[in-house]
Structure 1
Amino acid sequence: MAPRPSKIWADYPIKDIKRSKEFYSALGFTVRELTHDGDDFISLTIGDNGFILNLFPTERFERGVKTKVLDTTGTNEVNFSISADSKDEVLAWEKALLDIDADIISSPEEMKEGWWVMRFADPDGHRWVILNMKN
Structure 2
Amino acid sequence: MPTSIFVNLPTTDLERSKDFYTSLGFSINPLFTDENAACVVLDDNIYFMVLTREYLGTFTDKQIIDPKTHAQVSLAFTRDSRDEVDEVLAKGLAAGGSEPREAQDYGFMYSRDLEDPDGNILGFLFMEPAAAEKGPEAYLAEQGATASSASA
Normalising by the smaller structure, the TM-score range is 0.7 to 0.9
Match of 1:75 among 63, 70, 74: 70
Q: Which residue of 1 aligns with 2:11?
A: 14
Q: CA deviation at 1:78?
A: 0.8
Report the Cα distance in structure 2 between the residues aligned to 1:67 and 1:98, rounded to whole angstroms: 31
Deviations 1:68-91 (A, max 9, x none): 211211221111101111111111
Q: Which residue of 1 aligns with 2:59?
A: 64
Q: TM-score, normalised by structure 2?
A: 0.76
Q: Which residue of 2 aligns with 1:40?
A: 36
TM-align CA RMSD = 2.1
Is 1:26 matched up with 2:23? yes
Identify, as 1 or 2, the structure richer in helix: 2
Instruction: Indicate the percent of aligned positions where both proteins have the same amino acid.
Output: 22
SS at match of 2:103: strand
Q: Which residue of 2 aligns with 1:88?
A: 83
Matches within 5 A, 1:113-132: 113-132=107-126
Q: CA deviation at 1:35?
A: 4.2
| Equivalent AA in structure 1 for residue 123 of structure 2 | V
SS at match of 2:22: helix
Q: TM-score, normalised by structure 1?
A: 0.84
Larger gyration radius, structure 1 or structure 2: 2
Report the Cα distance in structure 1 between the residues aligned to 2:4 and 2:32, rounded to whole angstroms: 20
Q: Which residue of 1 aligns with 2:98?
A: 103
Q: CA deviation at 1:122?
A: 0.8
Q: CA deviation at 1:39?
A: 4.8
| Equivalent AA in structure 1 for residue 18 of structure 2 | K
Q: CA deviation at 1:67?
A: 2.2
Structure 2 runs not aligned, ≥5 long: 130-152
Identify, as 1 or 2, the structure richer in strand: 1
Deviations 1:56-75 (A, max 9, x none): 11111112212221121122
Report the Cα distance in structure 2 between the residues aligned to 1:35 and 1:92, rounded to whole angstroms: 28
